[in-house]
Structure 1
């Protein structure tokens, strides 16, 4: 299900207030770091997300933010990867979840989108729907189970014989 976020909503400001104490540095990724971020995303998430990350990094400024704790990459969030105005993909290392890093990445990415002139953000095929609804009041976009990812080419893994 796709969700819509109003970037002029008071809830976005409130999210910023709730994430001010997060103990991670959140910043725009730098192009020379792309291979590090790609390898990290490949290891922790998926090759599909590596593809989206690569597209987001090709923009100027890069459409990828990173979360760093003690000099180590622990999370990322992209926008304008699969389509203009889309938030995601995004992810946080399992060991760092529950510390507000995902919320801080979400907030800072939406603020970056707003600064580039977007009034709304689309969260395509949103995984944790309640997370986004609670964070910024994201609303479901009505559809007949159709989205931009419909018909996406997938790699089929061969069956392993015993």
Structure 2
């Protein structure tokens, strides 16, 4: 899977998207240290064991580099930055029942804004699955010769 590059000084305005989530009762925020086990367990139940490892790395950072979307104290989605490599976005995922609400897009924007706040001018989306989503949503472009990129020689689960 290829990597994609995002121009962080040309990010679209995300305020309307955040407002729409708020109107649905969805809270988008940075996770807290005492929630590590909850978020890691949720990711393990919905996604890959490898993603659990990356989530745990995000919780080892200061500030924590994992963002979550919640409603009524339930995790609906997550996104991490700087777990596999500096300036990298991912992993990220939204629970099946919450897809189509805009959470994935909002987590992407919040993560890219955090990378920009950290001083980066470009962000890397590693090992992209839905290329069209990232192209359309945030103007990401494919990085030539990036497959397999950093995700080579991966140990099996």
Give CA-to-partner distance per residue, 1:52-103, whole Å, 9 cap, x none: 1111111100000000012111100000000000000000010000010111
Give CA-to-partner distance per residue, 1:12-31, whole Å, 9 cap, x none: 22344344311310000001
**How does the TM-score come out when normalised to structure 1?**
0.90
Classify 1:80/1:51 alpha carbon distance in 2 versus 1 (closer, same or farther; 3 Å): same
Q: Which residue of 2 aligns with 1:2?
A: 3
**Residue 46 of structure 1: which of 30, 45, 48 is its match?**
48
Q: Which residue of 1 aligns with 2:37?
A: 35
Which structure has the larger Rg over C-alpha atoms?
1
5+ unaligned residues in a row in structure 1: which ranges? 156-162
**How does the TM-score come out when normalised to structure 2?**
0.93
Distance 1:27 1:113 in 2: 15
Q: How does 1:14-93 map to 2 (within 5 A)?
A: 14-22=13-21, 23=24, 24-93=26-95
SS at match of 1:87: strand
Distance 2:15 2:123 in 1: 16
5+ unaligned residues in a row in structure 2: which ranges? none
Deviation above 6 Å: which 4+ runs of structure 1? none
SS at match of 1:8: helix
